[in-house]
Amino acid sequence: MIINFSNFKLRNELLKVIKEINYIRPTPIQIKCIPLLLNKYDVLGIAKTGSGKTASYVLPILNSITINSLQCLVLVPTRELAIQIKDNFLLFSKYLKFKILSLYGGQKYNIQLSKLKNNPNIIISTPGRLIDYIKRRNLINFNNIKFLVLDEVDEMFCKGFIDDVKFILSNINVKHQTALFSATICNNIKNIIKKFMLFPKEINLLLNKKKFDNIPKNIKQYYCLFYSYNDKINFLINFLEVEKFKAVIIFVKTKSYTLKLSNLLQKKGYNCSSLNGDMNQNLREKNINDLRNGNINILVATDIAARGLDINNVNLVINYDLPIDFKYYIHRIGRTGRANNIGKTILFINKRDIKIVYLLQKKLNIKINKIYPPNKNILLKIRIKKIMNFIEYYINKKNNNDFFYKNILTNILKKYNFINNEKINLILLNFIYDNLFLNKKI
């Protein structure tokens, strides 16, 4: 039997949005969790990243709450995830009148205070900022809470939030539904379940799988060997030149190198920004939204972007520097292949560390194939095509009064016969490419 969202008997306002955004069929976690939450059960959901778990609780919540008071609290480990989940609530509540607020560190108190006084119906928060309001300001009333969601619980424990989570849960004394979502199950999570959940229904989509065997099959993984620093940076630029990507995230090890590498790529003509923990929150949000909206198509980031960043148009992830452990490799490559789209990842690795590739394959039960950097012939064809498109654009551009460009480009066509002769001197071609296509000048 084919299940559609209409089978869940959601309110019409939600079904209307689902149709508008072309949400065709629910994912396995949604098929399992939505009916249980609609029927008032506590739910424990264990599923891999990118499985669609956010909508599996957002839709039942929006279907069940009213606009009278604060009725839903969602706890998350990072500000990026708080923002992302708020966006999901806003998307699906387009035809509803709920007030939705996200709380996290790095945002000014006066902004959050004014919104708190506006009596939100849904709050998405990191534990630390929420505790600050509970202890010092007493502005949050949990007396009408109907839903409590803990998302990415394993990551909250990894970040040392377990005591904060327990403190918050102990301050909610009214009967409510609890939904807990995680990529793994451990003793800390079991303790939370035992103390704060009532006979939860467990949905484990990783059951009978190996510990790390949760990487989507639609992500194609490769590694590329480099031998020197110059090799590494040149290989990166060459891959960016030939790969057909909508958006790419490049992961590096240090905060300073996000800026250095993004500046280098900008000088090469790419629409690129950086993301690291030293940036203020407004700039971080701007750069993430720029990638999501297509204003840029390359983001150079530290592991701050490895979790909680859901951008469906990212179809390429490049591990420029090695991740610190296996878990972060999974989180990094999980930024692509979202919503069952095809994703591709490339891991840069030097010869002495090649054993790490074998360990990754064995530990994660995956296949990482070797890929070679684009050779000169491939680059030549790509560059010819780009130059031709560029020339054609300027010559055929309507109302083009830039006679300098028009004359220069016409002379290039005549002199070097680009259309009929692809055996152009490579040095000359590279010079034209670097100066004409990237820097937009001769």
- The answer to whether residues 299 and 335 touch, using CB atoms and an 8 Å cutoff, is no
Q: Tell me what pLDDT residue 435 has.
A: 60
**Percent of the chain at pLDDT exceeding 90:** 44
Distance CA 344, CA 219 (A): 5
Q: Is there a contact between 126 and 101 (Cβ–Cβ < 8 Å)? A: no
pLDDT tens across 204-251, in order?
Answer: 887 645 444 557 788 999 999 999 888 999 999 999 999 999 999 999
The pLDDT tens digits for 151-202 are 988 888 877 888 899 899 988 989 999 999 987 777 778 888 888 888 899 9
End-to-end CA distance of the chain: give it in Å, rounded: 62
- Average pLDDT in the chain: 84
For the stretch 85-108, pLDDT in tens is 999 999 999 999 899 999 988 777
Choose among 292, 321, 317, 356: nearest CA to 219: 317
Choice between 426 and 158, residue whose per-residue pLDDT is larger: 158
Reference 209, options 46, 92, 72; nearest CA is 46
Whole-number pLDDT of residue 51: 76
pLDDT of 386 strictly over 80? no
Split at pLDDT 50, 70, 90, the class of 401 is: low
Here the tokens at position 272 are 């690129």
Q: What is the pLDDT of residues 129-138, one digit of tens each?
A: 899 888 876 6
Q: Are 177 and 41 in contact (CB under 8 A)?
A: yes
